A = this chain, B = another copy of it.
């Protein structure tokens, strides 16, 4: 496979950095190192086994969740609650906090750690109420002029009778529309499972990142296998076919960058995973600093409108 555009951009940036006198000191040399690492990762096409390992790590029971990151990354973290209509959906977390001195509005799906919390949070699958809660947070961010940080981690939107009656499809559509209207900087990162419409509902951002072992997909491997191979057991084969891993998403232009995880995966060291995530989020926000709101919105829409392959 020829080097992707992204890889070419990275290589160019890398050589530019290398030829600069290292006045920036630590920051710049950190940047160098980071790019080098990222490049090495991208250079190699992941094998089917590596893809499947990502699927497993993305779902790992000890993987850090949105609130684990909020507590570690955000000073003065203050969780907000409720959709102002019907419920406070535990599968969707919103709140305010300071990321490196800058107040941001956080939106993220939230799984549970033990069985009780999992039930309360519907295994990270939001109801329409959850997406309305997210919309409220987007509108708050616009009013307060804070950037939005969105952490994606859901198997999908909740599939139930009440969820359908309360308008699951419309809520997901309107959550995306709310993001498409924002004039504040927005960064999304898939930190675990990016499952279909329920995930993209909060990922229509200026910068979309994925953690190294996160997955982002139109359907779960099991669902895909059940439909196309008529056998949910063929999940590994399905995953290899539709390639939900970060490197392929980057290749396809769906995401803008990969956030490194600690060796062995984010679950092995929550603090280090948070540190690495925080670095990437701050860097992404720094890049968006100073861009006028209308221009941010125009570019954001143009970015998503460019996605797709046809002839």
Binding site for B on A (CB under 8 A): 84-86, 128, 132, 165-167, 170-171, 174
When distances are taken between beta carbons in the complex, the residues of chain B under 8 Å from A170 are 84
When distances are taken between beta carbons in the complex, the residues of chain B under 8 Å from A171 are 85
A128 touches B167 (CB 8 A): no
Copies in the complex: 2
Q: Is the interface of A mostly helix, strand, loop or mixed?
A: helix
**Least CB distance, A143 to chain B, in whole angstroms:** 12
Q: How far is the CA of A86 from the CA of B85 in the complex (A)?
A: 10
**Least CB distance, A58 to chain B, in whole angstroms:** 32
- Of A85, A86, A166, A171, which is in contact with the most chain B CB atoms at under 10 Å from its CB? A85
**Least CB distance, A24 to chain B, in whole angstroms:** 45
When distances are taken between beta carbons in the complex, the residues of chain B under 8 Å from A84 are 167, 170, 174
When distances are taken between beta carbons in the complex, the residues of chain B under 8 Å from A167 are 84-86
**Least CB distance, A280 to chain B, in whole angstroms:** 35
When distances are taken between beta carbons in the complex, the residues of chain B under 8 Å from A86 are 85-86, 165-167
14 A-B residue pairings within 8 Å (CB atoms): A84-B167, A84-B170, A84-B174, A85-B85, A85-B86, A85-B128, A85-B132, A85-B166, A85-B167, A85-B171, A86-B86, A86-B165, A86-B166, A86-B167
When distances are taken between beta carbons in the complex, the residues of chain B under 8 Å from A174 are 84
When distances are taken between beta carbons in the complex, the residues of chain B under 8 Å from A128 are 85
Q: How far is the CA of A166 from the CA of B86 in the complex (A)?
A: 5
**Least CB distance, A161 to chain B, in whole angstroms:** 14
**Least CB distance, A169 to chain B, in whole angstroms:** 11
Q: How far is the CA of A165 from the CA of B167 in the complex (A)?
A: 19
**Least CB distance, A287 to chain B, in whole angstroms:** 32
**Least CB distance, A303 to chain B, in whole angstroms:** 24
When distances are taken between beta carbons in the complex, the residues of chain B under 8 Å from A165 are 86
Query: Given A84-B170, A86-B86, A86-B166, list of 4 further CB < 8 A pairs?
Result: A85-B128, A85-B166, A85-B167, A86-B165
Q: How far is the CA of A174 from the CA of B85 in the complex (A)?
A: 11
When distances are taken between beta carbons in the complex, the residues of chain B under 8 Å from A85 are 85-86, 128, 132, 166-167, 171
Q: How far is the CA of A196 from the CA of B165 in the complex (A)?
A: 31
**Least CB distance, A273 to chain B, in whole angstroms:** 36
Chain B residue with the shortest CB-CB distance to A129: B85
Chain B residue with the shortest CB-CB distance to A128: B85
Q: How far is the CA of A293 from the CA of B85 in the complex (A)?
A: 29
Chain B residue with the shortest CB-CB distance to A173: B84
Chain B residue with the shortest CB-CB distance to A170: B84
Q: How far is the CA of A166 from the CA of B85 in the complex (A)?
A: 5
